[in-house]
Structure formats: C-alpha cells, structure tokens
Amino acid sequence: MTAAALFESLAIPIIQAPMLGASGPAMALAVTRAGGMGSLAAGGLAPEDIVEQIAALKAATDRPFGVNLLIARAAAPDPAIVTEALERLAPWHDRLGIELPAPPNDYAPDFDAQFAALLAAAPPLASFTFDVLNRDQVAALQAAGTLVVGTATTVAEARAWAAVGADAICAQGGEAGGHRGEFLKPGPESLIGTMALVVTVRAAVDLPVIAAGGIMDGRGVAAALSLGAAAAQMGTAFLLAEEATIGKPWRGRIESAPDDATAVTRAFTGRHARGIENDFMRALRPVEGEVPDYPVQNRLTRDMRAAGGRLGDSEVLSLWAGQGVSLTRAGSAADLVQAWWDEAREVSAALHARTHGPDGHRR
C-alpha cells in the first residue's frame, strides 16, 4: 500500500502524534479504533519492548498505526562539561531535597538496536524525527512492509527525506509542542509556521504531507486538509485525553494554561523544545545556550524532572505543549477524535456555503 492510499483509507484523517512521556499504546489503539491513526512513541523503549508493543497492537487491530523513533547518536561528552552542567543543576536538586546524580554511563537508548527491533516487528508505518535515515535503512523498512515518514521543519529537510526515499513527510510547524525534528539548521532558524510549511513542502516534494503543529480542533483539521495535507497530526490536543500518561502537575498546568503560555527552550534537554514556561526555563534562559547538547542535558535533568513529578513541583518539569494549549479539552481519545471530525465536516459545509452561496451555486 502507498502512503497516499493508507491516509485515504482512514475513516478520519487525524493522526495522534507520537508523544514520548505523554502517550502510550492505549492512546494509539483508541485513536486507531476510532477511525484515525494512532502512533506509538517508541523513542524511550528498549528493543524488546518495541517488539512486544508492536506485536500487541497488531494483535489488537487490523487498522494501520504508526511507530515513532528519535534518531539520536550515542554521546560521549567531555567529563568537565558534564560536571559543569551538574553544578548548574545543583540548586534545583537542593530545592527538591534530592541527591545530584553521578555522571551517567549511558545518555540515550541505542538507536541502532531500536531500529533493528522496529524492522523486525514491521509496523504498518514508522516515523522518525531529529535526523534523516540513510537510503538503505529506508529501503529495508519498505521491504519489510513498513511505510516511512520523515519529520521536516523546513523545505530543505523535506527534500532530504524525499532524497532517501521516504514515503511521506510530516511537516511540523513552529507552533508544535515538545521537541521538533529540525536537523539541518538549529531550532530557532527552523520555526516556520504550519500554514506556510505545509504548502511550501507540498510544492517542493511529490509526496503526501502530514500537517503538524497548532491543530487543536476540527477547524484546524479542515484547514490542514484545505492546504493539501493528506492528514492532520495532533499532539497537544490529546494531552488531556483520558489515555494521556502525563502526571497531575503537568495536567494541571495544561488545564490552567493562559493563551500565551509556551516558549521554546533548550534548558531541559539540550535540544529546542516548546513547553509551558516555568521557573526552570526562566532561570536558565541566560545560560541555556551553554547547556550540553541533547541527549546529555536530557539525561542530566532526568532525576530532577522525575522528583518534580513525584513532589508535585511543576516549576522543574518539562511541560511540553504547543501554542494552542489553551484550547486543549478533556475526554476519551475516541470521543475527541470523533468530535474534531464532526467539527471539520461542519466547517467544510460552512465553507462550501460561503463559496457556493445558499442555493449551492458558485458565487
């Protein structure tokens, strides 16, 4: 099946975005069963868990779903940089009453082992972010029956994914919550809005495009399809779903988020990401350019963030969310997907009336 045929086959062209730390297999299955396409965020999983969770999803549904990996290289940072970074975090550990961690041996899961597990488990679709695969990796997935989606934040990145043979592009605008997929230029130089990105990527590459970033309801879904996207991918809009795996402090900050709640920071992970602004982000802003690159800083702040979650201190948590966060609604993932699709149909009918007049003739 081609990617275009897969997206066309969805009863509801809404893709639940993979969200490491916020979505699990239950959400992926609920959205897939509701007629959209769920995604398993596998970036933090051990290879054996990737195989097991994909097998469980395949057993639970005949419909297509996606699996997402973060393309992260092994890190071997200079010990002096690690010590300096830990010293910077010391006051935050004191505040939480926890020990500063010792310099770790491992900073991120082994991507090659995760990739091998994904290849063996052969999900219907796999998406990747943070970098681009090589041609052989893409061809191997396709030979196993897995469609390949590459995340792009610029037209140049979309072209790079097309050049290695990807089946579709996820065009991820600067509105998006969490980390984005930039790999050719730094995050702040890759903050193109979803509306401009989707149409320019469509014009540049002859592949189906998934629109992501700032899509919060049926109006956004209809807009994405009007721009020529094959499907709309929504992340932040699912954060208050019953199936979301976020803890109470994060959930509470989403429920009460003001309109202009988010900012982009590299303070938590060493890679630019968008989240609800809090004390940690504000305090590290003057030095955030100096924190070690992902995945080092991500690993070094892990204990602090885990303690913040346990102790209910949302000022030290990475509260990933996109620019539309104030519109996030609660409900089951299935009900949300159905409600957004109903809204998209209403919006489309209203647009038809506007363009064709009340008697159905073109104005």
Q: How far is Cα 243 from Cα 37, in angstroms, rounded to an integer?
A: 15
Q: Which position among 25, 235, 270, 295 is part of the footprint of ligand FMN (CB under 6 A)?
A: 235
- Looking at the Cβ atoms of 215 and 261, the one nearer to ligand FMN is 215
Binders of ligand FMN in range 149-168 (CB under 6 A)? 151
What are the Cα distances from residue 82, in Å, to 73, 133, 288, 290, 295? 17, 29, 14, 11, 12
Stretch of 29-37, 49-57, 211-219, 332-340 contacting ligand FMN, by CB under 6 A: 211-219
The answer to whether the beta carbons of residues 341 and 334 sit under 8 Å apart is no
Q: Which tokens sit at 108?
A: 């991120």
- Looking at the Cβ atoms of 88 and 179, the one nearer to ligand FMN is 179
187 lies in the site for ligand FMN, by CB under 6 A: no
E strand spans, the chain: 14-16, 39-41, 66-70, 125-129, 147-152, 168-172, 178-179, 209-212, 231-234, 262-265, 273-276
- Looking at the Cβ atoms of 82 and 108, the one nearer to ligand FMN is 108
212 lies in the site for ligand FMN, by CB under 6 A: yes
- Looking at the Cβ atoms of 82 and 171, the one nearer to ligand FMN is 171
Binders of ligand FMN in range 37-56 (CB under 6 A)? 41, 43
In angstroms, how far apart are the furthest CA atoms of the chain? 73
Residue 191 contacts by C-beta under 8 Å, 6 or more apart in sequence?
153, 174, 264
Identify the DSSP state of 4.
H
176 lies in the site for ligand FMN, by CB under 6 A: yes
> Shortest distance, CB of residue 319 to ligand FMN, whole angstroms?
9
Q: Which position among 12, 14, 19, 158 is part of the footprint of ligand FMN (CB under 6 A)?
A: 19
Q: Which tokens sit at 45?
A: 């999983």
Q: Which position among 157, 175, 243, 303 is part of the footprint of ligand FMN (CB under 6 A)?
A: 175
> Shortest distance, CB of residue 312 to ligand FMN, whole angstroms?
19
Binders of ligand FMN in range 313-332 (CB under 6 A)? 320-322, 324
Q: Which position among 6, 12, 14, 20 is part of the footprint of ligand FMN (CB under 6 A)?
A: 20
One-letter identity of residue 239: L
Stretch of 19-27, 154-162, 289-297, 331-339 contacting ligand FMN, by CB under 6 A: 19-27
298 lies in the site for ligand FMN, by CB under 6 A: no
Q: How far is Cα 4 from Cα 276, in angstroms, rounded to an integer?
A: 35
201 lies in the site for ligand FMN, by CB under 6 A: no
Q: How far is Cα 166 from Cα 6, in angstroms, rounded to an integer?
A: 14
- Is cis: bond before 295, omega within 30 of 0? yes
What are the Cα distances from residue 307, in Å, to 83, 92, 185, 311? 20, 10, 33, 6
The residue nearest ligand FMN at its CB is 235
Interface contacts to ligand FMN, rule CB under 6 A: 17-20, 22, 41, 43, 68, 129, 151, 172, 175-178, 212-215, 233-237, 320-322, 324
